[in-house]
Each structure stands twice: as C-alpha cells, then as structure tokens.
Structure 1
Amino acid sequence: MVERAAGTPSLPGEWPVPPGVSLSLNRMGTFDWDLDGGRLHLDAPALAVFDLRPDEYDGRRRSLKARIPPGEMRRLDEILEQAVRSGSEAYSAYFRVCRRDGSRRWTHTQGRILRDPEGRARRVVGVVRDAVQELVDSTARHELAAARPTRTSVVEGTAAALAHARTVQDVIDVLKESDGLAHLGATSLVMGLLESGRIHLVAEGPDGSYVPGTRVTRTDEGYPMSEVLRTLTPRFIESPEEFAARYPLLWPQISDLGINAAAYLPLIAQARPLGALGLLYRDKSGFSAEDRDILLALGSSIAQSLQRAMLFEQDHDLAQGLQQAMLPRRIPAVAGAEIAVRYRSARLGQDIGGDWYDVIPLPGGRVGTVIGDVQGHDTHAAAVMGQLRIVLRAYATEGHSPATVMARASVFLYELDTDRFATCTYAEADLATGVVRLVRAGHIDPMIRDTDGSCRRLPVPGGMPLGLSAVFGELDYPVETVELDPGQTLLLYTDGLVEQPGTDLDEGMLLLAALVRDGPRDLQQLADRLCGAVDEQGGEDDAAVLLLRRGGSRPPRVGGRLQQEVGEGDPGALRTARRMIRAAATAWGAAGRVDEIELAADELITNALVHTRAGAVVTVQVVPGPQRRLRIEVEDLSSALPHRRDAGESGTSGRGLLLVDLLADGWGVESRGSGKCVWCEFGVPERPAG
C-alpha cells in the first residue's frame, strides 16, 4: 500500500463533500462583516489563513492588525470604500499576511456587498484564501504584474504604494513595510531629508542599525549622503575596500555589519534636492546597468512622493493653523459650571474647516454656549466660521434673546455673500436656577448626561440652517426651555462625532450615548475619550464637542422674582410697582435699606417713562451668590443708552443716575435686542439659619 505523502489531507468520507470541507481543503475560509455593528465573523479555515487561533480573535477587525501590515490594511480599506461609493456589488484584492513566524504570504479576498433597499452598504460576505501557489504560477504572475517577485515589479509595487502616501511618515512606513528591500537583496536602509544645509535622518532599518553621530549631518561632511546631495549624482559602492577608501568616517562604524556594497541615491523632485536614500547590501557582486536603472527609478518615485507629502503637510498645517486661530484661544472660567471643549481635525487631506465652539459669559450668572459647523472642509470654511463665531458672540453679549441671536447671525451669513451655510446650536444657561434656553439651526440634537451616567438625546425643535433661513425668510427660531439639575451635563457636538462610514445618524448617536454612559466622570477625560473614539473609527470629518456640567447643589429658595409692567401715563401701575419693590425688599431681608431701594428704583422707572415715551417692565429679584443681592431691572424699548451727567447748579434734570450711583452698590445697562435694561443692585444680609 502506498503511504500518503506527509501533510496530505485524508480522503473525505462523504460524496460529494460539503462546501465547508471543499473550501477548507483548498485553504479557503469565509467571512461575514457587519458594517453597521463592526462585527467580523471568520470561520476556522479563514482564521487558519491569517495564522490565528480562535482564542486570539475577538470578532472585531482590530484583532487582524497583528497579521495585516498597516500599509496593506489602508489599501484594503480604500479598495472597499471605492467599491461602496461606486455602487459595486463585489470587490476583490490581493494582500500580504504576516504569519506567526514573521514570514509574509500572499492572500486573496473577494466579497459581495449587501445593501438595503435605499442602497446603503450593510454587510460584506465573502471568502479569503491563500494565494501563494497562484502567484507562483506563470499565468497568474502575468495577470498580476505587481505581485511578480522581480526587481522591476518592486519599483512598480513601491510606486503604487507610495501613491497613497499623504505624509512623510506614510512614505517612510511604505519603505519599511514593503518587501522591496528584501527583493532587491538590500540589508538595511537609511533616508535623510535636507533642511537648511543639514541632512536629518528620518528613517533607518532594520531597527537597531542606527549609526551614532549621523542623526544630523552637514552636506560638506565626508558621508555618502552628503556627497550625493552636493553633487546630485548617485554613488554605487561595489566592495568593502571601495567603501573604506571613499568614506573613512562612516566605514569603521559599519564594517562589522558585513556590508560589501551600497547604493546612495539623491532624492530630487522638480530640480530640487529633498534628501538622500541609502541601500546597503551584504551579498552583492556589483551593480549592473539594469540594477542602476531600477534603483534610479526607485529613487525618482520616492522623491516625487516625498515632495507631494511635504506639500500636503504644509497645506494641512496652514489650514489647521487657520482653524485653530479662529477658535477661542482659551475658555473662560464660569462660576457654577465645569466646561470641556475639544476640536479634532479630520484624518485625511485638508479636511479642516467649519466646526467651532464658543463659551460666552453673560450678565446675571448666565453663560452662552455655542457649537456650529460651516458647510465645507477648506480654508474658506474656516474663514467664514471665524467671522460667524465673532458675530454670534457679539449678538449674545449685547443681550439679545437666543432666537434673536440666531436670526441675526443667519442674516449676517447671508449678507456675507458666500455660498456657504452653517448649522448651529446656541444654549443660554442660568447656572443659579439651572434653566437652559436652546435654539437649534439645522444642527444635531444635543444630549444630556444624568448624574447616574445615563445619557439621552434632547429633542430640540429647530429652524433652518444659518444663511438659508435668511434666503427663504424663515427667521423665526423656536426656543426650547429645559432645566439642568446640579451634576447633569449638556453635550453639544458636531456631526463628525456621530457620522461614520457605513452607519446612519441614529446609529451614530446611539453609539455616542453608549460612549458617554460608559465614559469617565471627569469632564476633560470624557472629552478626550469621545474624540479618541472617533480616531479609532477612522473618522474622515472634523469634529467639535462642548460639555457643560452644572455644579454645586440646588440653591435654596432665598426669595423670588416679581415683575410688573408700567404703562406710559398709568399712575396706578407706577404705585403698584413701588409697593411691590418696598414689600419685596422688606420680605427678603433688606428692610434697613428699603427707602434707598425704592428711591433708586423710582428714578430708573421715571427715566424710562420720560425718555422713551413708552412703557417699561420692572423686575425685582434676589440674586444668590457669595453675597446675596437684591436686583432691580427696568426694561424699555429704546436702544439709546443712558449715562451719568452733571446737571449743573440750576439744572432740573440729569440728577437721576447720579442719585442711583450714590444709593446703589452697583448699576449698569445691558442691551436686550429690542431695547435695553437698566439695573441696580443692593447687598442683602444673609438670613439667620433656621
């Protein structure tokens, strides 16, 4: 009986064999990828292709990072993303798997993209298989030239990988991750970039091959990279003796590495030297004309990729610098609240732009918080964002109501004569009472985190985005009023925090709520956690987040808030307002100053009635704080601001505000959108305990 060859599987007992057995015998496995939930099921044969044990895989794609090099993972992501965007039903790709022993094997995957009735990709079902034998076959090598183990294909494959490199670090990663050096027979690599007459070493490999003293060198020193950058000519060294004679400074430091040949290439793009690349060999017997042509082509491809990466980084730094300059330099401390803000720039391209946040201290212990997003991801969006943020802050500081702030900002954006619109949420919080008034202009609903950590969506009726509402004349923004209890947190954020590829908005908000629920209680750590989660998921949009937590405990009832309208020519209402003020001052512990309070209030009311020719609204309330204060506010419809002036010896007017200034502990004027408010305050003794 002929013995079965070692490693040959036994004959199956069934006829015909089940599909799973057939796939396994042919070193093929299946997968099912849930794009919505992020789950990725791999059957046992698929795990074998990746050289993974079942206990090493947790059903998530991140478990494959140990087996798929980062450069290959990025390429697979781009292939799938292109197929999803183009509406394709299937895709396929060859890639390399790093096995447990460190070797790399060619692998092939193909999948079917399953979509819902609206055309959104929901799942990918497919197979993954070992492709080593396939690529050994001459026909497969002809069809897949990029996979041919020849020196020419190394240049082509490296150039293809470099085409996706966006940053200098991406270029370095491609060189260190690819098998190009191994195919070319190189033992190690060094690369330096030229800056201000000095060569800065940015890559060396394998790890541990760094030569001390060469991290930064000058172009006039006796090193090979210095020489090729001085002469802009490549240097091919074909023996240890030649190396020692040409470069006596470097050779003693690498002679024990067994190097017998080297190639140093200038990296030149558009006639500008960018740096130099060095390839060192142990078993190289000279460089043929073909070798030199291939290496020169490799150097040219690397130089072009480096130049593209440098320009990208410069543009991105410029755009990001503009974005950061447009955001507030610091967030003011707000008594009675904890605040955390974060801005996270996009991962790809110049994708920074219109996301912004702001915190605006307002009179009377109030604070305004803003989150917004200008349409677009470019420097124009960042510039529009900066102007809109400043204008919205100005309107809020002037004392306009939240609805008026939003309407005026919309008109401003429309009159800016730009083709951009913006979404925004503005929240005005009274930290003493916990009352929050919210206005939403086409933006995502905010969330509230309760004291027990649970998180819920806060539905807020909204109007049209800023700019568009002015175009269509829809400037009425509804105001939603909620109460924020001590310890509760208001979450404002932009869509970059919840919109991820392959998921819809509702799913993204559920994921965000779960992150907030399970996140740390510390507000700064929570903000870091939210932005970190977006980075982990590979978000391609910028994102901003603002967290506001009301501090302290619920304030005790220290009085109330009384209000009276006083019409022009209505002496009865005026008498009623005076009695109200006197009674409130006496009831709230200011009986010793009741005459001063009544006199000052009478002056403010009289000024409003005389100078505005209209009615006024009088409010009296106790403001809690380190020192209790009784506050009188008189609102009218005039935008003219009063000021203290000298009445002169015989003057009959002009003494009112002078008198208020002498009687009250403080007074001032606030714009209120359709008019103004003149106020004065008096210190009130604390009530005895009990």
Structure 2
Amino acid sequence: MADRGASALSPPDDWPAHPDPVLALNRMGSFDWDLDTGLMHMDAQAHHILDVRPDEYDGRPETLAERVPPDEARRLDTAVSQALKDGSENYGAYFRLRRRDGTLRWTHTQGYIRRDDTGRPRRIIGIVRDATQELVESDARLDQTAQDESRRQQTSVVELTTAALAHARTVQDVIDVLTDTHGVTHLGATSLVVGLVEAGRIRLVAEGPVGSFVPGTRVTRIDEPYPMSEAVRTLGPCFIESPEEFAERYPALWPHLTGPNITSAAYLPLIVQARPIGAMGLLYSDRRGFTSEERDILVALGSSIAQSLQRAMFYEQEMDLAQGLQQAMLPRTIPSVPGADVAVRYRAATIGGSVGRD
C-alpha cells in the first residue's frame, strides 16, 4: 500500500502549547516535539497507539525505531524534512507501525510547525491516530470503483460487438467480425471458437486467431464430452474458472490447450427462439473466475451474436431462394428470330423487398 499523501492540518490560533488530552476521546494521541532539544513529549493515548510503554520511551524520536520499520521511518522523515525546508505550516503522512506482536498497522500523523519571527522552525505540535480501519474502508471503495470500471468495460464490449454485427449481412460477415484481431481484443479473450448446429452435430465455423481449434474437434457430436457440446445440450453457459477445473471436467480437451496458457473459459450457447443454433467459446489467459455481473454480460453477448447469426442465415436463405427463382424464370434457350438480335435478362423489382415482386 503506497503512501496516501499529506493531509492538511489547519490549527486554530489558540492551539494549546501542550497536547490536549481531550483528543483521546476521539482515539487520537498528541505530541509536542521541541526541535531545539530534539525531545518529543507524547501523551498516554499516543503511547497506546504506538504500542510503547512509558518506561520504554525516553523522549527521543529515535527510540521509536523499534516500532517504525526503516523504510517507513525514512519516508516519514522525508515528509517532515520537506515541510520544514519549504516553509510549510503543516504536514501529514500515513506510515506503517510494527506492534509488539509483530503485526503491521497503518497509522496517520499530522503536525503543525511553529516558527519564530525569522521563520525558523522551533516546535511541532501534532496528533497521531490508528488509520487501519480507515484505509481498509478506503481500499474497499477503491475496489468498488475498480469493479464498476470493469463492469463498464464489459458492457462496452457488448455494445461494440453489437454495433459491429449490425452491419453483418451474411454468416461470413458475422464470423469476420468475431475473428478479426480487434474483435477478439474487444471481447477480452485470448482466442475464440464458434460452432453451428447442423444435423445433430456441431461444426466449427470460426476460430480466432487462426489455428485456435483443437485437432479432431472440427465436427463433433452434441453428446460428446466437450464444453461447447454441453452448452448446446443444456441451453446454458458453461463457465470454467481455472486450469484445474478445465483439466478435471474435460480431460480429453485440456491437454490440447496448455500451449496458449489458458486459465479460464466461457462457452455460450447461441439460442434463438428457445432453439440452439450453435455455441461460442471464449478462452482467456489473463483471468480466473467470473463474477455474477461478468456472467450476465457474457450471456447477453451470446444472445446478441445468436440474433446476428440467425438474421444472417435468414438473409442467405432468402438470397438462395431469390437466385433460384430468378434462374427458374429465365428461359433455358433463347429463340432465334431472323433479322433480329434477341437478349434476355432478369430485372429485379425496385419496389418491395420480398421475393415475388420481380
């Protein structure tokens, strides 16, 4: 944990010449440091916070070396020295304290520097307090902020992917979006595979980067012991949170994935109208485990991709039907007319988007 920086102390004009024992009510100790003699007086609460018995402390700050680790002492001395040199009226710093039982606890000190008429520092009057709980709560807030940022990034992944897929018209267009280098990066995965259900089997149609698929799994049965098959069978996502879990649950597949250093994976069913049309596997090498929010976002991502694939399939089916109709409407042979050149061409209707208006 790094130094949290200085905290400003703005004492009132009537700051007492000696430590105020009332501070003990707020679990704060006080000290009065005479810079001319080098002696520092501390009240009973300060002794308690620093875990020093009165008979162990002789008034010299150096005596506290047993309680303040060397690195912390140097950092604290630097903060005080800098404040004395640059004319500051106060300083503040967090430092770690080694208690009698050997544990380290965070402590905070604030000092007000009193100077004479020439600006020379003569005394430092200040307080010291246990800051362990404060920093624990602060770290919890920082962790929550980090989680919120991660959640925003994950949500952005879905939005970016959905936006890119909006322009995909064919199945190959969808595959190109997913397997593009930027696409894999946006998904936050090291690699991915996509399979479509065809006649009771799963055929891999996409891999990113190229060479990501495991040999022998290009076409697999839905009842085989693979995570993609499980996602299709159960219509539910299959999350694998560690290499150990991967090896235990899928021993036939795991030996082929040790090269890319896979640490976790998410296999998502691609479902449209309660029917599985395929599955997608996202493999990660920089994370372990998935939070509930991350799982929800990945499921939403799978739903978006499934809708895009279904839309692309419908488009291709319509195009195949239209092309077949066009071919059927054209004459197989062009009659010969003496003295004239005869040509036949198909012209699509300009109004309406359905087959049959040509």
Give the TM-score range, shorter chain: 0.5 to 0.7
- CA displacement at 1:169 relative to structure 2: 1.0
Paired residues of 1:219 and 1:226 also in contact (CA < 8 A):
yes
Structure 1 residue ranges without an equivalent (≥5): 1-147, 332-358, 383-690
- CA displacement at 1:180 relative to structure 2: 4.8
Tell me: CA distance 1:198–1:375, structure 2 relative to 1, closer, same or farther (3 Å): closer
Which of 345, 350, 355 aligns to 1:376? It is 350
- CA displacement at 1:222 relative to structure 2: 1.0
- CA displacement at 1:370 relative to structure 2: 3.9
Which of 186, 202, 210 aligns to 2:213? It is 210
**What is the CA–CA distance in structure 2 between the aligned matches of 1:374 and 1:182, rounded to whole Å?**
41
Higher normalized strand content (fraction of residues): 1
Structure 2 residue ranges without an equivalent (≥5): 1-150
Question: 1:240: which partner in 2?
Answer: 243
Question: 2:336: which partner in 1?
Answer: 361
Question: 1:341: which partner in 2?
Answer: none
- CA displacement at 1:184 relative to structure 2: 4.5
Q: Matched residue pairs, number? A: 206
Question: 1:108: which partner in 2?
Answer: none
Question: 1:286: which partner in 2?
Answer: 289
Paired residues of 2:161 and 2:186 also in contact (CA < 8 A):
no
Which of 314, 326, 339 aligns to 1:311? It is 314
Give the percent of matched residue pairs that are identical in Structure 1 and Structure 2: 67
Give TM-score, length-normalised by structure 1: 0.29
Q: Does 1:196 align with 2:199?
A: yes
SS in 2 for 1:373: coil
Tell me: CA distance 1:154–1:327, structure 2 relative to 1, closer, same or farther (3 Å): same
Aligned pairs (5 A) from 1:43-442: 150-177=153-180, 179-329=182-332, 331=333, 359-362=334-337, 368-371=342-345, 373=347, 375-376=349-350, 378-382=354-358
Paired residues of 2:169 and 2:315 also in contact (CA < 8 A):
yes
1:569-620 per-residue CA deviation (whole Å, 9 max, x = no partner) reads xxxxxxxxxxxxxxxxxxxxxxxxxxxxxxxxxxxxxxxxxxxxxxxxxxxx
**What is the CA–CA distance in structure 2 between the aligned matches of 1:320 and 1:370, rounded to whole Å?**
16
- CA displacement at 1:373 relative to structure 2: 3.4
Tell me: CA distance 1:152–1:178, structure 2 relative to 1, closer, same or farther (3 Å): farther
Tell me: CA distance 1:263–1:325, structure 2 relative to 1, closer, same or farther (3 Å): same
- CA displacement at 1:366 relative to structure 2: 6.3
Aligned pairs (5 A) from 1:658-673: none
1:3-50 per-residue CA deviation (whole Å, 9 max, x = no partner) reads xxxxxxxxxxxxxxxxxxxxxxxxxxxxxxxxxxxxxxxxxxxxxxxx
Paired residues of 1:360 and 1:367 also in contact (CA < 8 A):
no
Question: 2:17: which partner in 1?
Answer: none
Paired residues of 2:265 and 2:282 also in contact (CA < 8 A):
yes
Tell me: CA distance 1:290–1:325, structure 2 relative to 1, closer, same or farther (3 Å): same
SS in 1 for 2:190: strand
Give TM-score, length-normalised by structure 2: 0.54
Question: 2:143: which partner in 1?
Answer: none
Tell me: CA distance 1:178–1:159, structure 2 relative to 1, closer, same or farther (3 Å): farther
- CA displacement at 1:379 relative to structure 2: 2.3
**What is the CA–CA distance in structure 2 between the aligned matches of 1:273 and 1:155, rounded to whole Å?**
20
Paired residues of 1:185 and 1:283 also in contact (CA < 8 A):
no
- CA displacement at 1:183 relative to structure 2: 4.3
Paired residues of 1:191 and 1:201 also in contact (CA < 8 A):
yes
Question: 2:74: which partner in 1?
Answer: none
The letter for the 2-side match of 1:287 is: F
